Structure 1
Amino acid sequence: MPTDPSPATPDLSNWRTAPYSRWAFHNVRSILPVADIASAPGSAWPLQASPVSFEDFRLKLPKGGTLDLEGFLKATATDGLLILRDGRIVFEHYEGGNDRDTPHILMSATKSITGLMLGILAERGEIDIDAEVTRYVPEVAGTAYRGATIRQLTDMRAGIVFDAAGLQAYADAAGWEPVASGTTPNLHDFFATMRAQAQPHGGAFSYVSSNTDLLGWAIERATGRSFASLVGTLLWQPLGASGETFITVDRKGAPRCTGGFCTTLRDFARLGQLVLSGGRRGSHAIIPQGWLDDIRQNGDVQAWRDGQWRDSFAAISRNMHYRSGWYVINDEPQLMFAMGIHGQNLFVDAANRIVIAKLSSWAQPVDGQAIWLTHQAVAEFVRVLREQPAG
């Protein structure tokens, strides 16, 4: 494990604030309570190396000038970058005390993993995607979540509108911030008593992180098992993840399914390769192919165009949708990606057989320029690789 010193001792008051965050993002276990997720180091999905030169990598900047690969890595506060082509490592890089064994927080890319778990559980008949969430969590029947379906939650189309006080109550419940001494706010109590404005469910894309934490509660209720144990048994071990993995939990042990997943860069990339491979590792089906096809094909483009992030992503694409925790750009080639604040990304380009996993420590949670640079870099990585024969 890396032994890099932190600039001071990060704690709940500063762990998501630069410069503390760069150390904290790969030392989450020392700051927050977590639940371990079993991996399978004895049967790891092998990742052989076939290095490719990226000397020709160039990003053109909007106001002139270019960035080479090193410049891009620095400009986007990269903690780790791994690129797979045909399941082989063509590039791998670490910074800031990270290495191949370091578990780094994925932030909201966790939502994409929760979405994959829903597909696995639906295929097993353990959860009904079209059921109302109150079927599994009747405690929210008196809240704005009444009438919302599992599908609407995972597609960010539930009609939930929080005011500032509601957002703070949610933040307190999640356990990622300091709270008053002697209090134990937690997610289950928050959901049972939450106050939020209710709008019709099934409308435009509206990004509400609490939706996915509520999905975690519904999953645990539907299966009678912890989310961490389900991920380990049904996804992480079968795909051949080999490193330390865990998820943050609140003060009462509820999982942060919206943003608390922590894993190594290599295992993050293995997940992308599993998605690219149609949910199969060899002959073993892990994620239903139909679920992945649904993510790629059945998102509501109009819901995205009517939604809150249309303009924010306009410089990247206007032809997008969000489905089951994944973003999909419907240009050619189609690109699936998971995204978390502070620069966590997993890109899956099935047409070019490329997976790109990136972990970062942006100073700002949402950095529009860094998002744009990252997407431009994905296209440039693809260009360079297409011009070089596979090893």
Structure 2
Amino acid sequence: GATIRELIDMRAGIVFDGAGLQAYADAAGWEPVAPGTTPNLHDFFATMRAQAKPHGGAFSYVSSNTDLLGWAIERATGPSFASLVSTLLWKPMGASGEAFITLDPKGAPRCTGGFCATLRDFARLGQLVLSAGRRGSHAIIPETWLDDIRTNGDAQAWRDGQWRDSFAAISRNMHYRSGWYVINDQPQLTFAMGIHGQNLFVDAANAIVIAKLSSWPQPVEGPSIWLTHKAVAEFTRCIMAAR
């Protein structure tokens, strides 16, 4: 019953218990499963019986929302997710290397993680966002989409949400929109965040992009997130002082 918008804003009401999380992990195929079994994402979504709160409520990060989005994209367009990303984003933005995405045992993409690329190409994605979705004269991402990310997130959904307290030491003035986090202090900072310390920061006011790859022991480490944001602020200060 969730809409695409509720999935992409992490406002679907799905709540997994331990068994549901294990079933999802098995379906993704990242860890060994019982011999003779072939769990996969499509079967997982077709048979899942997770509890649900009303959709459209507080922000709650559920990784499988993004995998389901990938399936919806493929159903709506026809080509594979990897082909679409290659044709519509990766090649047009001038990526210097190939990228890879992990698949489940039956070939469905793990859209929530497992996207493999070089740091330089990761930064190129940030530069594309900074450049209003354009590379030279060629429009790759609609500027209206990027404006929507920066301005149309639901601040109340964030304040009521899962990570409000975790980010309180960084900022209380935040929202989440279309897969991006936005800090609405001055200057506004838009960033993408992955587990184990992957980050892409876009500071449009100061024209700065920072890409960071890491291998933190834990998927989400509060002190390390805080330190990363302090480092970004200091890098920005030094860069602006040198200009």
TM-score by length of 2: 0.99
Structure 1 position 190 matched with structure 2 position 29: no
**Aligned to 1:387, what secondary structure does the other structure show?**
helix
List aligned pairs for 1:1-391, cutoff 5 A. 147-389=1-243
Shift of 1:364: 1.4
**Aligned to 1:238, what secondary structure does the other structure show?**
coil
Deviations 1:61-104 (A, max 9, x none): xxxxxxxxxxxxxxxxxxxxxxxxxxxxxxxxxxxxxxxxxxxx
**Aligned to 2:86, what secondary structure does the other structure show?**
helix
**Aligned to 2:105, what secondary structure does the other structure show?**
coil
Aligned residues: 243
How far, CA to CA, are the matches of 1:312 and 1:195 in structure 2? 29
Shift of 1:365: 1.3
CA-based RMSD: 0.5
**Aligned to 1:165, what secondary structure does the other structure show?**
helix
Shift of 1:260: 1.5
Which structure exhibits the higher relative contact order, with contacts defined as CA atoms closer than 8 Å and separated by 6 or more residues?
1
How far, CA to CA, are the matches of 2:156 and 2:122 in structure 1? 30
**Aligned to 1:371, what secondary structure does the other structure show?**
helix
Deviations 1:141-196 (A, max 9, x none): xxxxxx21000000000010111000000000001111001110000000000010
How far, CA to CA, are the matches of 1:283 and 1:269 in structure 2? 19
How far, CA to CA, are the matches of 1:180 and 1:346 in structure 2? 37
Shift of 1:244: 2.5
Moved over 4 A (4+): none
Q: What are structure 1's unaligned runs of at least 5 residues?
A: 1-146
Shift of 1:347: 0.1
Identity over aligned pairs, percent:
86
Task: Return the index of the structure with the highest Cα Rg.
Answer: 1
How far, CA to CA, are the matches of 2:9 and 2:220 in structure 1? 20
**Aligned to 1:269, what secondary structure does the other structure show?**
helix
Deviations 1:279-314 (A, max 9, x none): 000110000000000000000000000001100100
Which residue identity is paired with 2:78?
Answer: G
Specify the alignment match of 1:120 in structure 2: none
Shift of 1:342: 0.6
